[in-house]
């Protein structure tokens, strides 16, 4: 990093020890100065030695404030050593709150209090840090908060009041809070009433369904303001100008987990405070040229549709309803006949087994997902032909499916920390490359194909394999090396599935239709068209950071 000019540097006390504290535009650093007795030519000299050294990036400082009346009397001896005397009767200490990184991508707000020799110096420090914070223009100052009191374990209000509101107030963020009173309250308020010009962002306290309400409200509002017709499947949608923060308080919370790395309310609040940007792709779902819904996480027919339909009847169980309905659905083993048509994504990175990881500041997400490396060229040539037919550029798969899943993001969540998309080495695709990942688990093939990765198995074997496939969600293994699972990318901006046919007679043991699970909301239509809209929304998130090697709470970084 380019060396930044020093703005301020002083010797200050921290826990009764002397530190050299320095502020520049990028970093706040503090280095301990230990006094050590050293014998030189027979006389005792006091020499300084630099020991522990810590730093916090300025953008990760949450706030600075003057500390309350402090333990100055205790420090008297130390100040005398530094030949300084603290001013009587004034606060001579200031506290810096900053982001501290913990295990598994968790962030915490920590405090460090520095004691100054006089009031003027203390004021100078507080002022200088505040000035640096004011330069961070991407930080939100005024937020509109929607709380779903009904989702997850019905703790949304409590989570916000106890874990989030105190952090927002520490960061001097003002809020207007709406606790929703019915389903689609937040969506309709955003679409028709909210004065969005007043806010720097919208915060959603709830699960993926609540986030979906916010997305629908904002996207619909933006299209209405710009005269774009959502019913026209071919329309290019206009990106939303306002960012969304997600405080996880739902049952799966995969959009939060996949963009931050954990489902922890305080971590999410800190991501909002520091004002990061994470663009996300959004799928639009149409039926007969009528707009149905948007999807950001999972659009799943068959297994996940059936799990959802069953689990909604067991809401009283809370998040555990999915496990119960998951096992039940697995054991009932329904499969559905249908046709999937899609345009393979050959012009982007993020193929199955792509070696690049999508991490904070991802190169692929920032560079329009264009084919940029030789490695990607190679993927293009190796793209499997699979069991599908082709119709021009389109690939068509007909068969009996246990599940058809289109994941616009990794769908990583505590149940499946690596997510379920086929893209990326650990199945964590890019967050905004402009494609969706289509994973089909077929029961019987319409036509077997010799390619080893897409050869489909008979359904009795499939049942065993499907369990193995599910089990692999829970660990690091490759979910897509099983013979009956097909994974592939589908191109964005075009129709992904042309139709899932209802009219093929199914074999006697199978109900005719499942329903679509669209980000956890039931879509009753079977035939749908899906298109991907690149980077349509932006979150207050950084993407998943590379994990530090050390285990314990560790920031401020030790230099």
* CA 485/CA 133 separation, integer angstroms: 50
Number of Cβ atoms within 10 Å of the Cβ of 359: 18
Residue 179 near residue 155 (C-beta atoms within 8 A): no
Question: Which residue among 102, 520, 531, 543 contacts ligand ADP (CB under 6 A)?
Answer: 520
Q: Please report whether residue 305 would count as binding Ca ion according to CB under 5 A.
A: no
Q: Please report whether residue 202 would count as binding ligand ADP according to CB under 6 A.
A: no
Nearest-10 crossing angle of helices 321-332, 303-312: 130
SS3 117: coil
Question: Which residue among 209, 305, 338, 417 contacts Ca ion (CB under 5 A)?
Answer: 209
420 binds, among ligand 1PX, ligand ADP, Ca ion, none (CB under 5 to 8 A by kind): ligand 1PX
Q: Please report whether residue 251 would count as binding ligand ADP according to CB under 6 A.
A: yes
> DSSP label at 327?
H
**Interface residues for ligand 1PX in 201-220 (CB under 6 A)?**
207-209
Q: Please report whether residue 180 would count as binding ligand ADP according to CB under 6 A.
A: yes
Binding mask 252-291 for ligand 1PX (x = CB under 6 A): xxx-------------------------------------
Of the listed pieces 140-148, 300-308, 500-508, 520-528, which binds Ca ion according to CB under 5 A? 520-528
DSSP one-letter string for 452-491:
TTTPPPPHHHHHHHHHHHHHHHTSSS-TT-STTEEEEEE-
Q: Please report whether residue 304 would count as binding ligand 1PX according to CB under 6 A.
A: yes
**Cα→Cα distances 339→24, 134, 528, Å:** 60, 55, 11
**310 in active site:** no
* CA 406/CA 190 separation, integer angstroms: 27
Question: Which residue among 102, 250, 302, 429 contacts ligand 1PX (CB under 6 A)?
Answer: 250
* Pairing between β-strand 485-490 and β-strand 61-66 as defined by DSSP bridges: unpaired
Q: Please report whether residue 399 would count as binding Ca ion according to CB under 5 A.
A: no
Residues in CB range of 224: below 8 A, 6 or more apart: 191
Query: What value, to the nearest 5°, has the Cα angle with vertex 480 and ends 474 and 481?
Result: 110
Q: Please report whether residue 209 would count as binding ligand ADP according to CB under 6 A.
A: yes
308 binds, among ligand ADP, ligand 1PX, Ca ion, none (CB under 5 to 8 A by kind): ligand 1PX
Of the listed pieces 15-23, 202-210, 308-316, 393-401, which binds Ca ion according to CB under 5 A? 202-210
Catalytic residue among 70, 75, 200, 208: 208
- Closest C-alpha to 521, from 303, 305, 257: 305
Whichever of 256 and 362 has its CB closer to ligand 1PX, that residue is: 256
- Closest C-alpha to 270, from 129, 64, 61: 61
Q: Please report whether residue 148 would count as binding ligand 1PX according to CB under 6 A.
A: no
Token pair in block for residue 393: 């550029």
Q: Peptide bond before 156: cis, by omega within 30 degrees of 0? A: no
Using a 10 angstrom Cβ sphere, with 0-12 exposed, 13-18 middle and 19 or more buried, the burial of residue 380 is middle
Work out how close the CB of 323 gets to ligand ADP at its nearest, in angstroms, rounded to a whole number: 14
Residue 462 near residue 373 (C-beta atoms within 8 A): no
504 binds, among ligand ADP, Ca ion, ligand 1PX, none (CB under 5 to 8 A by kind): none
Q: Please report whether residue 307 would count as binding ligand 1PX according to CB under 6 A.
A: yes
* CA 419/CA 412 separation, integer angstroms: 4
Question: Which residue among 107, 301, 322, 484 contacts ligand 1PX (CB under 6 A)?
Answer: 322
Question: Which residue among 30, 94, 107, 150 contacts ligand ADP (CB under 6 A)?
Answer: 150
For residues 372, 377, 382, 383, the Cα torsion angle rounded to the nearest 10 degrees is 50
Question: Which residue among 245, 350, 433, 520 contacts Ca ion (CB under 5 A)?
Answer: 520
Work out how close the CB of 222 gets to ligand ADP at its nearest, in angstroms, rounded to a whole number: 20
Q: Which residues are catalytic?
A: 208
Residues near ligand 1PX, by CB under 6 A: 207-209, 250-254, 297-298, 304, 307-308, 322-323, 326-327, 330, 411, 413, 415-416, 420, 467, 470-471, 473-474, 517, 519-520
Residues near ligand ADP, by CB under 6 A: 148-152, 180-185, 206-210, 213, 250-252, 520-521
């Amino acid at each position: 990093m380019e060396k930044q000019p020093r703005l301020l540097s002083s010797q200050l006390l921290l826990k009764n020890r002397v530190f050299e504290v320095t502020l520049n535009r990028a970093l706040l650093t503090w280095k301990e100065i230990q006094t050590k007795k050293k014998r030189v030519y027979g006389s005792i000299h006091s020499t300084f030695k630099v020991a522990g050294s810590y730093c916090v990036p300025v953008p990760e400082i949450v706030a600075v404030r003057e500390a309350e009346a402090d333990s100055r009397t205790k420090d008297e001896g130390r100040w005398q050593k530094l030949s300084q005397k603290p001013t009587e009767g004034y606060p001579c200490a200031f506290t810096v709150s900053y982001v501290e990184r913990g295990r598994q991508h968790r962030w915490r707000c920590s405090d460090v209090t520095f004691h100054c020799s006089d009031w003027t110096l203390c004021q100078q420090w507080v002022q200088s840090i505040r000035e640096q914070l004011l330069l961070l223009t991407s930080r939100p100052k005024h937020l509109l908060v929607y709380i779903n009191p009904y989702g997850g374990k019905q703790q949304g209000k409590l989570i916000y009041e106890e874990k989030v509101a105190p952090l927002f107030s520490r960061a001097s963020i003002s809020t207007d809070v709406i606790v929703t009173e019915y389903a689609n309250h937040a969506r309709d308020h955003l679409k028709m009433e909210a004065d969005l010009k007043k806010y720097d962002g919208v915060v959603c306290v709830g699960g993926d369904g609540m986030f979906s309400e916010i997305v629908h409200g904002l996207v619909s509002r933006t299209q209405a303001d710009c005269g774009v017709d959502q019913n026209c499947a071919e329309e290019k949608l206009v990106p939303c100008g306002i960012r969304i923060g997600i405080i996880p308080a739902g049952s799966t919370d995969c959009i939060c987990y996949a963009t931050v790395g954990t489902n922890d309310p305080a971590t999410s609040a800190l991501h909002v405070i520091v004002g990061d940007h994470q663009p996300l792709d959004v799928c639009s779902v149409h039926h007969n040229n009528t707009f149905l819904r948007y999807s950001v996480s999972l659009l799943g027919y068959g297994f996940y549709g059936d799990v959802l339909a069953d689990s909604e009847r067991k809401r009283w169980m809370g998040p555990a309803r999915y496990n119960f309905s998951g096992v039940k659905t697995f054991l009932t083993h329904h499969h559905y006949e249908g046709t999937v048509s899609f345009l393979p994504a050959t012009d982007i990175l993020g193929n199955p087994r792509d070696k690049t990881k999508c991490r904070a500041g991802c190169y692929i997400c920032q560079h329009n997902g264009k084919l940029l490396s030789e490695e990607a060229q190679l993927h293009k040539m190796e793209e499997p032909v699979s069991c599908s037919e082709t119709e021009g550029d389109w690939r068509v798969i007909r068969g009996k499916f246990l599940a058809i899943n289109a994941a616009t993001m990794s769908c990583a969540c505590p149940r499946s920390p690596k997510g379920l998309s086929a893209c990326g080495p650990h199945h964590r695709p890019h967050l905004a490359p402009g494609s969706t990942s289509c994973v089909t688990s077929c029961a019987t093939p319409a036509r077997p194909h010799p390619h080893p990765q897409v050869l489909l198995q008979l359904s009795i074997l499939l049942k065993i394999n499907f369990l193995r496939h599910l089990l692999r969600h829970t660990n690091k293994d490759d979910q897509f090396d099983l013979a009956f699972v097909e994974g592939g990318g589908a191109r964005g901006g075009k129709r992904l599935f042309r139709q899932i046919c209802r009219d093929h007679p199914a074999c006697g043991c199978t109900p005719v239709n499942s329903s679509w699970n669209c980000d956890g909301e039931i879509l009753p239509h079977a035939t749908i068209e899906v298109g991907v809209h690149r980077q349509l929304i932006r979150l207050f998130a950084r993407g998943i950071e590379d994990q530090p090697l050390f285990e314990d709470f560790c920031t401020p970084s030790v230099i």
